[in-house]
Amino acid sequence: MKVIFMGTPEFSVKVLKDLHEVYPVSLVVTQPDKQVGRKKILTFSPVKETAIGLGIEVFQPVKIRTDYNRILEEKADIIITAAYGQIIPKAILDSPQFGCINVHGSWLPLLRGGAPIQRAIQRLHNTTGITIMYMAQKMDSGDIIKQGSIPILKDDTSGILFEKLSTIGSDLLLEVLPTIFNGTNKRKPQNENLVTYAYNLKREEEIINWNSSCEEIDAHVRAFTPTPTVYTTIDNKQIKVLKVTHKIGLTPLEEESKNGTIVLIEKEYIGVKVLNGLILISEVQLSGKKRQDIKTFMNGAGRNLIMTDKMFK
């Protein structure tokens, strides 16, 4: 049995490791190395690092829609993908005898696209899940083989959900692969009337909108944590907001303040007035600095910033 695995982020790592233990992977396909940080350090994807550690050959096409001959040369029996990050061309989809199987981080047909886990949190969904599916040319539209769901807890960040769903996805995949190979698996077409989309996160979405509700801002922060994170500005200085809670309801005095105003300063958090209550910020990061709790922040640069301007923008 010749198996190709395609994936890129941390979400894909456990799926690759567990798959390789049972069905040895002969080729890993992942995104090209990226320059990371202000020093632009060339960095491997988590999947590439894992593949190298496992002794698996790695292929990194810049544009897989035109550069895929190495994949066809492998003559794989099955191709498994998990958050690869590029649209797979038809020539690849048609090549393996057992098809191309995708591990997708949502309960399809909800949240098709590249950021289903982040969007589930951001859109205040109560549950999310994993779908094992056959791949089709249209994005995340293939027939469903098996699904699993979990609740989204109030403290869940996208990083936490990535870990939970990666485990579920790996378990479900190994459960269904024998049925795919022996032809006993069931496949169910998706209901196109229920389709929603979860497109990739955009840079302009990283800024906090203080005119939103407590629930929306709290979810925004958690959806973008640990990466790419969200930010705000005060006195023309950019601050990443890394951890928050919230309190619904406002006093009459707080009601009179504009949204984004710092109305409360405590040892463990600062309270920012929003549409229906207060966002309580407990961890931040100034540009070029390490992350700080609010006590440390207020004992340093934060005190001067907030004394100068009590309004986040």
- Tokens coding 32: 């090209």
What does the chain come to in residues? 313
Give me the pLDDT at residue 168, please. Answer: 98
Q: Do 222 and 282 contact (CB within 8 A), yes or no?
A: no
Token match 């919230």: residue? Answer: 246
**CATH class (in words) of the domain with range 3-194:** alpha beta
The reported pTM is 0.94
Residue 238: in which H helix or E strand, if any? Answer: strand 237-248
Alpha-carbon distance of 201 to 313, in angstroms, equals 21
Query: Tens-of-pLDDT digits for all 313 residues of the chain?
Result: 999 999 999 999 999 999 999 999 999 999 999 887 777 788 999 999 999 999 999 999 999 999 999 999 999 999 999 999 999 999 999 999 999 999 999 999 999 999 999 999 999 999 999 999 999 999 999 999 999 999 999 999 999 999 999 999 999 999 999 999 999 998 999 999 999 999 999 999 999 999 999 999 999 999 999 999 999 999 888 999 999 999 999 999 899 999 999 999 999 999 999 999 999 999 999 988 899 999 999 998 888 888 777 889 8
Q: Which residue spans of the chain are classified as CATH 3.40.50.170?
A: 3-194
Alpha-carbon distance of 268 to 29, in angstroms, equals 45
- C-alpha angle with apex 116: 115 to 117, nearest 5 degrees? 95
Give me the pLDDT at residue 288, please. Answer: 82
Alpha-carbon distance of 211 to 225, in angstroms, equals 21
Token match 């958690």: residue? Answer: 222
Q: Three-class SS of residue 296?
A: helix
- Tokens coding 149: 């769901």
**CATH class (in words) of the domain with range 203-308:** alpha beta
Integer-rounded Cα radius of gyration of the chain: 22
Q: Which residue spans of the chain are classified as CATH 3.10.25.10?
A: 203-308
Give me the pLDDT at residue 135, please. Answer: 97
Give me the pLDDT at residue 169, please. Answer: 98
Give me the pLDDT at residue 302, please. Answer: 82
- C-alpha angle with apex 55: 2 to 131, nearest 5 degrees? 55
- Tokens coding 305: 């910033």
